[in-house]
Amino acid sequence: MKHRVTATFELNAGQLEYLQRMAQAHNLPDTSKALRCLLAFAMAEPAQESAIFEVVRCAAPEACPEGGASSEVT
């Protein structure tokens, strides 16, 4: 069995709702497992790192500059 650690993360409400929906839709035991699935994918796909980390995406379009545009991290 893999050793797990407990960690605390700050999420916005939409991010938590997404994890809850994914856990339910994929019959996962909880949101923690949904987050671990996302991390496992990101870690297994190094070619996707720039797509994941270099483009800033807004959870709510009204919170983004110019009404929801994504932008490159500089």
Nearest to 4 by CA among 33, 41, 26, 44: 33
Residue 74 is predicted with a pLDDT of 43
The whole-angstrom separation of Cα 14 and Cα 21 is 10
Cα–Cα–Cα angle for 8, 12, 15, rounded to 5 degrees: 90
3-state secondary structure 53-72: HCEECCCCHHHCHHHCCCEE
Give per-residue pLDDT as tens, 11-69: 988 899 999 999 999 999 999 999 999 999 999 999 999 888 888 777 666 666 665 54
Residue 73 is predicted with a pLDDT of 47
